[in-house]
Structure 1
Amino acid sequence: MAHEQEFNAYNNNTADQNAVQNSVVLNNVLDGFWDFGPDGGLRNNTEFGTFEKTSDDPLTVKYTINDKAVWSDGEPIDCDDIVLTWAANSGKFASQETDENGNPLSGFSSASTSGYEDMNFPECNAGDKTVTVTYTKTFADWASAFGINPNIMPAHIVAKNAGVSDLIGALKNNTADQVAALAKFYNTGFIGNPGTVDKANWVSSGPYLIDSWQAGQSITLKANPKWWGTPAKTGTIVIRFIDATAQAQALANGEIQVARPQPAADILKQLQAINPPVKIDQGDEYTFEHLDFNFQGEFKDANLRKAFALCVPRQQIVDNLIKPVNENATVLNSRYKLAFQEGYQGVVQASYSGQYDQPNIEQAKQLLGGKTGVTVRIGYQTPNQRRTNAVSLIKASCDQAGFNVQDAGQEDFFGNGLAAGNFDVALFAWSGSPLVSGNASTYITGGGNNNGKYSNPQVDQLTATLLTQTDTAQQDQTIGQIEKILWDDLATIPIFTFPGVQANDTKVSGPAFQPAQSQQTWNDNEWAVAQQS
């Protein structure tokens, strides 16, 4: 199969490494109590274990790990692993370092602390297969804990490399030097060295394990011999790193059998032209394209953000680059709800006035106060022809208003651009799911996914309220309030919902389009190649 971007970290949970390029490899390598099912929603993974809510007040959930569940090195999956997952994603363990305001940073890096920050210390002892978690308040997405997002990481590996003999004790007592050592390895010890598989530390809890890595070329998954559940139908899967523009040709040549390129009109035409025909699946994804401002740079100026938003040709981007793939595509006007989701129109009506539907160059000029040549570096991950084209359209429009838009695309944008704040405006996509907590860390102050450093106390408060609401109507009302503030502040600019395209050789059974962030490998353990007769 093909994927555009090369894998770079075995721990996909940290703020720096939380990316599809990692999850597409790890989907059936690191397992948990749930995964994303065929419709993109959560489905329970009973082969890993079971869980049940045992109380509403306080919210209490009991987890039972399969007695046979072991890591690929034979170490049992147990209480320690759950405790580490909670600790690493709870935000409760402060670092010795502080942010620009003097506040202590979290020792463990986490893309999102939603839910885990509201849990008490898990109730279990070392080696236990049963764990009870009690919440300090109601959490709407309580069923989304301890699954594949975030992944459950191997506690015994982290403890060994940190030189900590009693992980649970170190965390329970918050022993500063030991917690710091655990956090350091958790944050950095799983980052990949291209071409090298760290077999001692990259232990698997799923049907596959990472067997080999050819830098810049491919990564190979092999069936995990210690896997206790239903065996994978295919013993070997090779994930080749191939640019979207070359995937159709690779599929036609028989170099790959499954492709999931980012949507583009010419790529769809290439797939449709393959002879003999391949199976092509299309659908909306829980993924959306957007522009994010860097609030630590010049765009901390609200008028500058508004001027830029007034010149971004969102409709033209959709018309030129997305409608050829999905003729029903529309401009996206919400960050929490996607165009195909129930409740989208209501949220938009409650929050967005339509002022950024079409470019208004004159108004943008007024907000710039007559200034010209205002530099805007738009960062994104290359190669990506569609985004390169989008930046060109933005430049053609915004330069008329007085901006000097520069294409600042780079191959390692997520690692050294976005995470390092090396951008004025970032162009990328969030991949998600129907969970209301999925966006929480993106817009709250200090959130793990809040790369632009946006901050508004009202958004923080409303987000906290949203995460306690279990009624959909209440959720949508709160989302509308959050979205109105995000539009008023221009925290980000949503552009469009992703139209997904997936194709596979008809000799392969199992691949199926799924809209969640797990992409094509969500069920790669079910793929099989027809035997030649």
Structure 2
Amino acid sequence: MITSRRATAALAVLAGGALLISGCSADRGGSTGGASSGSSSAGTSNATITVAHEQEFNSYNNNTADQNAVQNTVVLNNVLGGFWDFGPDGGVLDDKEFGTVEKTSDDPLTVKYTFNDKAVWSDGQALGCEDMVLAWAANSGKFTSQEKDENGNPLSGFSSAGTTGYEDMNIPQCKAGDKTVTVTYTKVFADWAGMFGAGSIMPAHIVAKNAGVSDLIGAITNNTSDQVAALAKFYNTGFIGKPGTVDKDNWPSSGPYMIDSWQAGQSITLKANPKWWGTPAKTGTIVIRFIDATAQAQALANGEIQVARPQPAQDILKQLQAIGSSVKIDQGDEYTFEHLDFNFQGEFKDANLRKAFALCVPRQQIVDNLIKPVNENATVLNSRYKLAFQEGYQQVVQASYAGQYDQPNIEQAKQLLGGKTGVTVRVGYQTPNQRRTDEVSLIKASCDQAGFNVEDAGQQDFFGNGLAAGNFDVALFAWSGSPLVSSSASTYVTGGGNNNGKYSNPQVDQLTATLLSQTDAAQQDQTIGQIEKVLWDDVATLPIFTFPGLQANSTEVTGPAFQPAQSQQTWNDNEWAVAQKS
């Protein structure tokens, strides 16, 4: 799975440019059918276009720490709107149909948000102040619960994949029913333009109704503990989906599409939102089928789907190429990277153990064997903040990384293990995923020589029962993010929403705060280099490679286009249409 999303937290959508988890699931079949065409009112055809994704949707709220994932992003891209989204190049693009954003002051940093006068949820409730106040409260980290963490500190009442940006805001200034909302910051925040994006604004009236709170703004403003706790409980768990059931009472849309039906293990269907006030979706029905990467090329060739974006592999690329001229293939680098995360709550709290493992992981061999066949220019990734294709990457690497993990050094790894043998390491990842199974095999072949006993601990529900529960020694997955510098903030800071391994270093915390206050790109790169130096010294995580993106679509449809950000293939599905035949 790939973890992630749009705001500034971690793909995991959250504040600013968050990272999301990215991953895959099994091919579980489902309804078939090619693109159908026809016409309907308001510029939307009654056609159906079918797209494949590797993992099944599981939550209407993609902002919480345990539900923030690409599997939800792919469904929600044009279902839940916001003041911005990722554009064609993966950067921030204002959604002026949703509303407008204006910075009105630098000191203090002040931003005015104005919803479109016609903006309503699909159940007819107007979008406005309450929705913004809820989004801020849920992601600000300012509301704690009665529960404590392992160190005795109170846990956040609202679950958030990342509080970056929101935690530096004062409560939005507005009153119930207002369409204009003013936000002031307590300090400069570099990615202020990446706040309150698509997917981060949830329906406050739904949360309030289910929590039994009549005045959401008042409860949050006054921090009325019992009412805030009720709001947080529904926000955290009330949007989690039950496979096969569409909760139409609680899942209103604020975008061009709305979720219409769900066949468990097979597909989820989107229909054009009749209450959408902006440019109508070109196609009335989008069906998202849950199909394993290895089966997508055949489904595309058979006309069962029209759009595919499988995780890249040499065999899959060859299968797509073999289809011929009826398929358009797009390739490019993604804002997604593969990595290994250590569990600091287990044996890997020992720095020497982490260093020994990093010294035996055959990163170059993984790239040569599994990635170069798809992207001949692929290289080992030596940064977590900058990807290999980004400006400033070489500068950051030169400032932070000494090359000590370029190639396996089995003898040095043995020395760090102090002669121990049979040291068990469970490498967890989401199955089925043949490429990651192959990665674990290569890691085992190398690291077992050093004294480790690497176990393939892949499981189908790794992100729910493995990663989130801390049930792993080393986690193998990908972060999907964006160019925003705040994208990685919650992944490496103490207590961050995407910090699954529980890594903590006060120096990283302080440097991250500095980074988020910098608006000059050169200064940002310098600070990122300092952060990366500490992360490498601690061996907090081990980056492996930048994802080579692969997308394909039938020439029967127009509109699908490769985009490098975490939005994935459906980022512009409201622009897809059945091609007109001459």
When normalised by structure 1's length, the TM-score is 0.99
Distance 1:383 1:17 in 2: 19
Match of 2:460 in 1: 411
Which residue does 2:148 correspond to in 1? 98
Aligned residue identity for 2:351: A
Cross-structure match for 2:171: 121
Q: Quick one: which amino acid aligns to residue 10 of structure 1? A: Y
Residue 86 of structure 1 pairs with residue 136 of structure 2 = yes
In the other structure, the counterpart of 1:368 is 417
Q: Are residue 154 (structure 1) and residue 229 (structure 2) matched?
A: no
Aligned to 2:323, what secondary structure does the other structure show?
coil
Q: Which deviations, in whole Å up to 9, do the C-alpha atoms of 1:318-346 show, x marking residues without a partner?
A: 00000000000000000000000000000
Matches of 1:192 and 1:423, distance apart in 2: 25
State the distance in 1 between where 2:164 and 2:330 align.
Answer: 33
Please give the alpha-carbon distance, in whole angstroms, between the structure 2 residues aligned to 1:277 and 1:351: 46
Check if 1:184 corresponds to 2:233. Answer: yes
Structure 1 unpaired stretches of 5+: none
The SS at the match of 1:194 is coil
Aligned to 2:19: none
| Alignment partner of 1:213 out of 262, 266, 273 | 262
**Partner residue, 2:347:** 298
Give the drift of 1:427.
Answer: 0.4
Q: 1:266 is matched with which residue?
A: 315
Aligned to 1:330: 379
- Is 1:343 the equivalent of 2:392? yes
SS at match of 1:273: helix
Structure 1 residue 439 displacement after superposition = 0.3
- Shift in Å at residue 413 of structure 1? 1.0
How far did residue 277 of structure 1 move?
3.5
1:446-468 per-position Cα deviation (integer Å, ceiling 9, x unaligned): 00000000000000000000000
Question: Once structures 1 and 2 are overlaid, which stretch shifts more, 411-420 or 504-513?
Answer: 411-420
Unaligned residue ranges in structure 2 (runs of 5+):
1-50
Question: Alpha-carbon deviation of 1:136?
Answer: 0.1
State the AA in 1 paired with 2:140: S
- Specify which of 270, 283, 292 is matched with residue 243 of structure 1: 292
Match of 2:81 in 1: 31
Q: Matches of 1:128 and 1:449 in 2, distance apart?
A: 33
What is residue 74 of structure 1 aligned with on the other side?
124
Aligned position for 2:186: 136
2:484 partner letter: L
Give 1:40's aligned residue: 90
CA-to-aligned-CA distance 1:289-330 (integer Å, 9 cap, x gap): 000000000000000000000000000000000000000000
Q: How many residues align?
A: 532
After superposition, the C-alpha distances for 1:339-375 in whole angstroms (9 at most, x for unaligned) are: 0000000000000000000000111111111111111
Q: Secondary structure at the match of 2:414?
A: helix
With normalisation by structure 2, the TM-score equals 0.91
Amino acid at match of 1:221: L
2:217 is the alignment partner of 1:168: yes
Aligned partners of 1:167, 1:393: CA distance in 2, in Å? 53
1:275 aligns with 2:324: yes
SS across alignment from 2:101: strand
Question: What's the offset of the Cα at 1:102?
Answer: 1.0
Partner Cα separation in structure 2 for residue 318 and residue 209 of structure 1: 40
Offset from partner CA, 1:238-261 (integer Å, 9 cap, x none): 000000000000000101000000
Inter-partner Cα distance in structure 1 for 2:297 and 2:446:
32
Residue deviations 1:489-523, cap 9 Å, x none?
00000000000000000010000000000001110
Residue equivalent to 1:424: 473
Secondary structure at 2:571's aligned position in 1?
helix
Match for residue 63 of structure 1 among 113, 127, 133 = 113
* AA of the residue aligned to 1:426: A
Correspondence list, 1:349-388, <5 A: 349-388=398-437
Query: How many angstroms apart in 1 are the aligned matches of 2:419 and 2:168?
Result: 49
Residue identity matched to 1:124: C
The C-alpha deviation readout for 1:134-164, integer Å capped at 9, x for no partner, is: 000000000011112x521000000000000
Quick check: 1:252–1:275 contact (8 Å CA) kept in 2? no
Q: Is the 8 A contact 1:378 1:423 kept in 2?
A: yes
* SS of aligned partner of 2:296: helix
Counterpart-to-counterpart distance in 1, 2:207 and 2:466: 28
Q: 1:530 Cα deviation (Å)?
A: 2.1
4+ long deviations beyond 3 Å: none
Name 1:224's counterpart in structure 2.
273
Residue of structure 1 aligned with 2:485, choices 425, 436, 439: 436
Rounded to whole Å, the distance in 2 between the matches of 1:169 and 1:412 is: 39
Q: Are residue 7 (structure 1) and residue 57 (structure 2) matched?
A: yes
Alpha-carbon distance in 2 for matches of 1:361, 1:341: 32
Give distance in 2, aligned partners of 1:403 and 1:216: 37
Higher RCO, 1 vs 2 (CA within 8 Å, ≥6 residues apart): 2
Q: Distance in 2 between matches of 1:7 and 1:171?
A: 30
1:366-385 CA-to-partner distances (Å, cap 9, x unmatched) read: 11111111111111111111
Q: Identify the match of residue 513 of structure 1 among 562, 577, 582.
A: 562
Match of 2:525 in 1: 476
**Offset, 1:415:** 1.2
Secondary structure of 1:227 counterpart = coil
CA deviations over 1:16-54 (Å, ceiling 9, x no partner):
011000001100000000000000000000000001000
CA distance in 2, matches of 1:8, 1:130: 32
Return the offset for 1:532.
5.4
Partner SS state of residue 281, structure 1: strand
Matched-pair identity in %: 88
Which residue of 1 is the match for residue 104 of structure 2?
A: 54
Whole-angstrom distance in 2 between the partners of 1:157 and 1:437: 29
Separation in structure 2 between the aligned mates of residue 37 and residue 430 of structure 1, nearest angstrom: 19
Cα distance, 1:408 vs structure 2: 0.8
Q: Name the SS for the 1:63 alignment partner.
A: strand
- Distance between the aligned counterparts of 1:32 and 1:152, measured in 2? 6
1:208 Cα deviation from its structure 2 partner? 0.3
Residue aligning to 1:447: 496
1:456 aligns with 2:456: no
The equivalent residue for 2:39 is none
Instruction: Give 1:276 deviation, angstroms.
Output: 4.3
Measured in 1, the distance between the counterparts of 2:437 and 2:253 equals 37
Measure the CA separation in 1 of the matches of 2:244 and 2:424: 38
Distance 1:430 1:170 in 2: 35
- State whether structure 2 residue 302 is matched by structure 1 residue 253: yes
Aligned-pair CA distance for 1:531? 4.4
Residue number among 517, 529, 532 corresponding to 2:578 in the alignment: 529
